[in-house]
Amino acid sequence: MPKTKLLFTLGPATDQPGVLGALLAAGMNGARLNFSHGTQADHAQRFKRLHAEARRIGSAVATLLDLSGPKLRVGAFPQGKFQLTAGEMVRVVPDGEVVGVRDIPISYPHLSRDVRPGGRILLDDGLLELKVRRIKGAAVECEVVTGGYLLDHKGFNVPEAPLSVPALTPKDLADLRFGLKLGVDLVALSFVRRPDEIRRLKRLVEKSGSGARVIAKLEKPQAIEHLEEIILAADGVMVARGDLGVEMTPEQVPLLQKRIIMLANQHNRLVITATQMLQSMMENPAPTRAEASDVANAIFDGTDAVMLSGETATGKYPVEAACMMARIAGEAERSPQYNRLSTAPAVLGPDDALVEAAVKLAHNIQARALVVFTQTGNTARLVSRRRPQTPQVVFAHSLDVQRQLNLNWGIHSLLIKNHLDTEGLLHTMVAPLLKHRYVKPGDTVIVLASSPVASRSHVNFLKVQKI
């Protein structure tokens, strides 16, 4: 299996018999529950089926709750669509205030307060474009720049205007409570603009008693202005290239992706690259060559995980898309350039200094594995950040931590019972290492742990151990 992790979105396509098992066989490390679509009951059923299937084959899969966020949408039209012709004038008005046949209803009541003449309004992921000409009361009069058919409930974006919408909507708060009670491992916040939005979500998660980690989805220009602060506030980030490419411009996205991944790697934050990675496989059994290159380049950039969205949730070829993603990742990692591209990151502190020494030692003595014992996952993440060529096997003391770590680069996670001393751990680790064929008798491994074992103290134990 590739060291880059595979995150697949669940949906109607994965509800079909045999599909979940096939995705797990393809190497799925995590499943995304997209609360922009489907009901809570739908997601609960998928969550339960996923973990039942994972238990059946002895796998621990992370689940990511993706909150809808303040996604702005147009309303419904009498014929289900609205034709826009370049050069004509239309009015954009709040839902409930439509009075004319050229009025476009929207879900956001304060648009006229936030936009200015000359600003752009983008519809349907930027396929259609309006230019603001005048503001009259609650109505925004616009000229159509790029025409076409606008369908019911399509999204709209206003790139130049900082809209006064809350980061967490009432629906998000209800979905958050539901998902945390269900037992999700990670929570992603959409349309993040400022670090305080992430900090608020983390407080809500902690207050619930959950240990779920918080992921900031980067898809707004305001987020790029506060990029490093947001990365530091979050447990991880998602390069959400769909809306990012609408709010910014398509030509800016590749360099932004590289910058985001680089900063996330530097600060030891999980980074997921997402959106339209194998988009053509929604309809076709094979990707374009450009899509294959896109996935490989995200891996060369240093992403922890790559994600499929509609390809697995609603596409015609969910299993083929998953297998293709795994093959592209594996091929990219076999490239001689892959290991040369990773540079040694700066040391973050005493724990990281010991981790750096362990990684170098494992490489120099050609150890079979780097074995990490962890209560919280922090030591394992520090090892993962250094992208070791030596396989990393992590023994987690809780199922929650084991599942969370399954989205971090290169980590093979196993569950182990707590022991009172390191000697007990060293004895207990041998059987599962042999069972899962990570080692053979006579192999040498490097062991990292904290002592005393039951504490959540800093890593302070390094040993060269012969199996």
Would you please indicate which residues are annotated as catalytic (active-site) residues? Answer: 32, 73, 217, 275
DSSP string covering 224-238: HHTHHHHHHHSSEEE
- Range list of H helices, 126-226: 170-182, 195-207, 221-225
- Both tokens of 20, joined, read 């979940």
Cis amide bond preceding 452, omega within 30: yes
Distance CA 429, CA 401 (A): 17
Contact present, 72 and 150 (Cβ < 8 Å): no
3-state secondary structure of 431: helix
- Both tokens of 405, joined, read 């770590």
Contact present, 293 and 328 (Cβ < 8 Å): no
**Identity (one letter) of the amino acid at 181?**
K
| Percent helix / strand / coil, the chain, rounded to 5 | 40, 25, 35
Burial per residue of 416-443, b for 16 or more beta-carbon CB atoms within 10 angstroms, e otherwise: beebeebeebbeebeeebeeeebbeeeb
Distance CA 379, CA 420 (A): 19
Give a three-class secondary structure readout of 130-154. EEEEEEECCEEEEEEEECEEEECCC
Which residues neighbour 280 within 8 Å (Cβ) at sequence distance 6 or greater?
287, 288, 291
Distance CA 449, CA 351 (A): 10
